[in-house]
Structure 1
Amino acid sequence: MITSPRLEKITAANLDAALAVQVRPDQAHLVSPVVHSLAEAYVYPGVAWPRLIMDGERIVGFLMAFFDIDFRNDGTDHRSGLWRLNIVAGEQGRGYGRYAVQQVAAEIRRRGGTRLTTTWHPGPDGPEAFYLGLGFRPTGETSGDQTVGELDLA
């Protein structure tokens, strides 16, 4: 069970450990690996918010969030949310995913936001039940082959 969780910035000192974060093999097609996320963070500086999920000194996962992005490029649809969530294979089912979503929600609130957006692959092998269980609701939109969901933070 979770003992002392926290989020930690990715640094030169923990980069190799971050790159070693892997989900279960049967989930690999559902979420990009950390190396892909960090490449996106490099390409989109100031947009991506990558963090390790720690429990004590143990790395238990990785998340990447985004804040106040204008999705329609016309000023009418600013969104913040969870871009990526990778929980280490042997650490799943212990509350770290829930903790990660709560931390992203807290950061969005801190920045003045009132909703958290994310996407997930639909289907029995995807994380839809996890997100719905946290209160996310599908928006009716899709992003590629993924469902777009939203959690009201107000």
Structure 2
Amino acid sequence: MTTQLRLEKVTPANVLDACRLKVAPEQERFVSPVARSLAEAYADPGTAWPRLIFDGERLVGFVMAFFDVRFYPEKPEDRPRSGLWRLAIAAGEQGRGYGRFAVDQVCEEIRRRGGSGVAVTWGEGEHGPEGFYLRLGFRKTGETSGDQVVGELSLPRG
């Protein structure tokens, strides 16, 4: 992994490249296309934090975080959470640390905003992201959101 990794905002200059980003075919069932994610971010700008992942000048992925969302608004005991909404690393770019970098950056943004934990949901199955999230320290909560597993990671104070 190079030291040229960075997140950038989605802009008119890079939005078409962002929409062209594709994950490996066997992973398409686990993550929505970037265009859908950007539409959701546009519809909910107070919650969504979409960013592009660059290695030097090369676009290698997309990450979108959410802040202070209740997964189960019908349950009064449910607390607002912040976390990963979407993560897509381009086909052929996986295994180079880009996903870990993106998750670390989301964790830093949540910490900067005063949060102490990161939530994520994922679909189970072959070629799914479960192993990736578990290796990063996420733990299953025992909850589901729709048909997806809910995982959480505690952020150390610091």
Q: TM-score range by the shorter chain?
A: over 0.9
* Cα distance in 1 for residues equivalent to 2:44 and 2:104: 24
Is the CA contact (8 Å cut-off) linking 1:34 and 1:62 kept in structure 2? yes
Alpha-carbon distance in 2 for matches of 1:7, 1:64: 11
Per the alignment, residue 140 of structure 1 pairs with 142
Report the TM-score when normalising by structure 1: 0.95
State the one-letter code of the partner of 1:55.
D
* 8 Å Cα contact 1:2-1:96 kept in structure 2: no
Deviation track 1:121-152 (CA, whole Å, cap 9, x = no partner) reads 11232110000000000000111111000000
Conserved? CA contact 2:71–2:145, under 8 Å: no
Q: How many angstroms does 1:68 deviate by?
A: 1.6
Structure 1: unaligned runs, 5 residues or longer: none
Q: Which residue of 1 aligns with 2:55?
A: 55
In the alignment, what sits opposite 2:152?
A: 150
Aligned to 1:86: 88
- 2:40 counterpart residue number: 40
Q: Which amino acid aligns with 1:108?
A: I
- Find the aligned partners of 1:90 and 1:104 in 2 and give their Cα distance: 23
Q: How many residues align?
A: 154
Give the 5 Å matches for 1:59-138. Answer: 59-73=59-73, 74=76, 76-138=78-140
What is the match of residue 12 of structure 1? 12
Give distance in 2, aligned partners of 1:103 and 1:84.
13
**Equivalent in the alignment of 2:31:** 31
- Please tell me the residue identity of whatever aligns with 2:153: L
Structure 1 residue 88 displacement after superposition: 0.5
**Secondary structure, in 3 states, of the residue corresponding to 1:29?**
helix
Q: String of CA shifts for 1:96-129, please: whole Å, max 9, x gaps.
A: 0000000000000000000000011112321100
TM-score (norm. length: structure 2): 0.93
| Partner amino acid, structure 1, of 2:138 | F
CA distance in 2, matches of 1:25, 1:124: 12
Percent identity over paired residues: 64
d(CA) in 1 for partners of 2:24 and 2:70?
33
Q: Distance in 2 between matches of 1:110 and 1:81?
A: 13
Which structure 2 residue ranges, 5 or more long, are not aligned? Answer: none
Query: Do 1:2 and 1:95's aligned partners in 2 also have CA atoms closer than 8 Å?
Result: no
